Every structure is written in structure tokens, then in C-alpha cells.
Amino acid sequence: MNIIVIGMGEVGIHIAQMLSKEEHAVKIVDENPQVLERASSELDAMSMLGQGAAPSTLKKLGVERCDLLIAVTDNDEINMLACHLGKELGARRTIARVSGSEYLDGSAGFYYNLLGIDLVLSPQILAASEIVKLVRSLDAVLVENFADNRIEMMQIPIKGKVPAIGIPLKDLETPPGVLLAAILRDDEIVIPGGEDSVQEADEVFLIGRTDHIDRAESLFGSKPKTQFRKVVIAGGGEIGFSVARQLEQRGHEVYLIEQNRERCEMLASVLGNTEVINGDCTSLSLLQELKVNNADVFVSVARRDEINLMSALLAKELGVRKTIALVHRPDYTVIYEHLGVDAPISPRAFAASQVLKYVRAGKVVSVSVLEEGKGEALEIVVPEGAPITEKTLLEVEIPRGAVIGALAGPQGVVIPTGETRIEPGSTVIVFTTPAVRPQVEKLFKRKRG
């Protein structure tokens, strides 16, 4: 595909990198020469200095031959104008990034066919939705949903002596509708067999029906104490506000710390069941006063990474059960993890995932990258005539290093067995490694003729 990406901030660079890796022809645009030079040094893409919403720039880029135009600058109006003009000048499809909820209805974080733009998405709201899912599951460090939220995947670190340790997987009684699909061990993704077992310091990937997967959590982590939890949020920007609003609607006890007094007054006027505190979230005395040690989850979503990291570490030191922190700069993610933050959250990663899902529609619907590319969870809609539909799974030669974790179809969500036969039109979730992914995709390709 011929793709134009306007705006070379962290989100734009990340999206362009992932599209380039998939061998799309990518052109990048930014009006800041220093930003464009940095992006050009990191990307195998044609670059152009200019205002992305200017018709002259779009024409020079050959927008009339563009399959997809993506506008992800920091200015919502420029993004939407660039997409509108791009469509008028001949671009087949357009995607615009917006910073908040003004242009979006609800809390999904994306909207199709808004004002003539094919996809409008908000990285901030996507990140907020992920944080809410992580609050629900205290032991998980990653929660992903597939097949219109009918299938859920959790990544859970094994800490201490949990019930599942040492039991061969063939003898492990997981709840119906849930499968242990992969294990992260010694920094490598392992697709386990029936004789394998979970060990201390592993991280497990569970997949299953969204309404059943919580039942498996007690096998691999600690059982949730209560249904309603105390959550402290540091940062009252768009993400903090969205998280607080969703959590208070679920009955959680929510405290929100924001340093700007005017912003605090606005938040207090619209958040009916959240206690808004005007203060510094990196103040040890304030965190002690709020009794953060009694909190189930501490969420740090300030505008600066240094504040998010410091406040999360202080909360961890005080005894909070789980810390979630926003990461703006991608090179900080590893630092967050090494220093003990339970769940680093990257808005750019969620935005890129949503864009890739849209680009791949009709083939691989979405790809969830696991552990910085060591593994992948593929969501695939099975076409008519694909080799995977011709035999039972026991008879199909699924490559070593891959496993079909779940499928969703007219019969509902199923954890497949060797006797399962996959029907065309089903949505299948496959765990695989990058090395065997091409072999997996061949099983799901429609035969010629």
C-alpha cells in the first residue's frame, strides 16, 4: 500500500516504523525540520518538510495515488482537515488522531466514518480503556480483547507459590473456556505442551471467554480481595479524567491528584463520586496522608515520564498492591519495568495497534505484539477455502511454535481441541513467534481459484 503519515511525534514514528516493516511504501511529513530529520534517520521512508494539511503539500506527495493517509500531529483540527482534504484530493482511506473525547462518542477510543474520515482514534482514550481493564484484573500486566470483546487475553506474572506451579498442563484444571496458551520464561516466549508446567518467575498468557477468564486468575495469582477497589490516580489530564469517570461508574473508591487548581475545580464539578485533591503526586507526605498503602491500584498518568515513574515508585514503596504508569517516551518502558512498575502503558502502542488492525482488515484483523516482538497474538477472520478449514486441527500441520488459543463463531467462543474443525467466517486467535508466523498465515489464506 502507498501510505502517507503526517506528524512525526512518538505516535507517528511508531506507526510509520510498523508499516515500513510490513513492506508498505511509506511517506512521512512534518513541518519541523529537526523532528523530520530525527524521524528520517530512524525510518526507511521518503520524507517531506511541510504543513500536512496544506493542499500543496498533499499534491506534492501524490495524495491522489495514496491508499491510506494517516494524520497524527498534536493538533486535532489539523489532523481532521488533512484527512478531509486528502479524501477530496483522491486518498482512498484516511485516519485522524484526536487528543481527547470531544470528537468521540463513548469510551472506546475510536470511531468509524466520522465527518467523512474513515477512522478517528484517540491514543489517550485507548490508554484509559486499557488502564480500566488492568484495574479490574489486579494480577495482570496486559489485557487484550479480540472478536468484538468476546475473547480476552491476560498476561500474568507468577509471584511466589501459586497453585499452578509444578503441575503438568495436561493435569491443570483451568476453568472451562480458558487456555494457558504461552509462557514467558528467561526472556523467551514458549508455546507449551501437555507435559510442561508453570515455574516461579514465569509469566503466563491466558486466553478465553471474557466472562470466564477471571475465574482462572486465582490459579496463577492472588485471589482478588474485593469487587470494589480503592484506586489512586496521579494526573488529571484527559487520561486521568477518563479513567476516573469509568472507575467511579463501576463503584470503585477513586482519588485523583492534580497539581493545577483550576483543573481540579473543573474535575470536581464533573466527577460526582471521585475525591479530587489539589497537590503534588510526588510528595511522600501527601501519599501517606491519602493512605496509599491501603490502595489496591495506583495509576500515574501525568504529562511527564519522570513524574509518572517517581510517583509510581513511591506508591510501590508505601505498599500499594499494583502500579500502572503512563510511558510517553518509548525508550523509558524498559526502565519502568526494571525499577518495579507493574504495568507500563504506552498510548502510542495502542494507537499503532488500532491503525494496523484497520490496515489489515480482511486478512489478519489485529496483531498484539508480546514482549517487544518475541511473540504475537494474531486475530484472523477465516476465509472460504483456507487450508485450515479442510481438516480437523489434529490433522492440520500447525507449525511448532504456534497454537490456536480460541475461536469465535456462530456457536460462541470455543477453546479448540484436536477434534475441532474451523468453519469459514470464524474469528481465530493464534499465538505464534515471528519466525513461524509466515507458515501460520499460509494456513489461513484463501486458495487461488
SS3 306: helix
pLDDT on residue 314: 96
Instruction: Give start and end residues of each alpha helix (H) in 89-190.
Output: 123-136
Q: Which residues pair with 218 in a beta bridge?
A: none
Pairwise CA distance, residues 146 & 303, whole Å: 30
Q: Where in the chain is the domain with CATH 3.30.70.1450?
A: 128-220, 350-443
pLDDT on residue 96: 92
Q: Looking at the chain, how many residues does it have?
A: 449
Taking Cα atoms as reference points, which of 91, 101, 93, 52 lies closest to residue 72?
Answer: 52
Q: Where in the chain is the domain with CATH 3.40.50.720?
A: 2-121, 230-349
Pairwise CA distance, residues 422 & 408, whole Å: 10
Cα-to-chain-centroid distance, residue 145: 9
Q: Which DSSP string do the residues of 402-436 spell out, in sequence order?
A: EEEEEEEETTEEE---TT--PPTT-EEEEEE-TTT
Pairwise CA distance, residues 255 & 233, whole Å: 6
SS3 152: strand
β-bridge pairing 68-71 and 93-97: parallel
Cβ–Cβ < 8 Å for 284, 258: no
**Which CATH number does the domain 350-443 belong to among 3.10.20.880, 3.30.70.1450, 3.40.50.10140, 3.40.1190.20?**
3.30.70.1450
Pairwise CA distance, residues 334 & 327, whole Å: 10
Q: Which amino acid is at 357?
A: K
SS3 165: strand
β-bridge pairing 203-209 and 230-234: unpaired
pLDDT on residue 109: 61
From first to last of the 449 residues of the chain, give the pLDDT tens digit.
Answer: 899 999 998 889 888 988 888 788 999 999 999 999 989 988 888 999 999 999 999 999 999 999 999 999 989 899 999 999 999 999 999 999 887 666 555 555 666 667 788 888 888 888 888 899 888 877 788 888 888 778 889 888 888 788 889 999 999 988 888 999 999 998 888 889 889 999 988 999 999 888 788 778 778 876 554 466 899 999 999 899 999 999 998 889 999 999 999 999 999 999 989 999 999 999 999 999 999 999 999 999 999 999 999 999 999 999 998 999 999 887 788 889 889 999 999 888 778 777 877 776 546 767 777 876 788 888 888 888 889 999 999 998 888 889 999 998 877 888 998 899 998 888 899 999 888 888 898 898 876 55
> What CATH topology corresponds to 128-220?
Alpha-Beta Plaits (3.30.70)
> What CATH topology corresponds to 2-121?
Rossmann fold (3.40.50)
Task: With residue 88 as reference, give the H or E element that holds it.
Answer: helix 76-88
Task: For residue 24, give the DSSP letter.
Answer: -
- Residue holding cell 481540579? 264
Cβ–Cβ < 8 Å for 222, 161: no
End-to-end CA distance of the chain: 24
Measuring CA to CA, how many Å separate 428 from each of 76, 169, 405, 406, 413?
35, 22, 8, 6, 10
- Residue holding cell 464539578? 269
The angle subtended at Cα 233 by Cα 228 and Cα 236, nearest 5°, is 130
pTM, to two decimals: 0.74
pLDDT digits (tens, 9 = 90+) for 354-367: 787 777 654 676 77
Q: Which CATH class is domain 230-349?
A: alpha beta
Taking Cα atoms as reference points, which of 335, 404, 333, 400 lies closest to residue 373?
Answer: 333
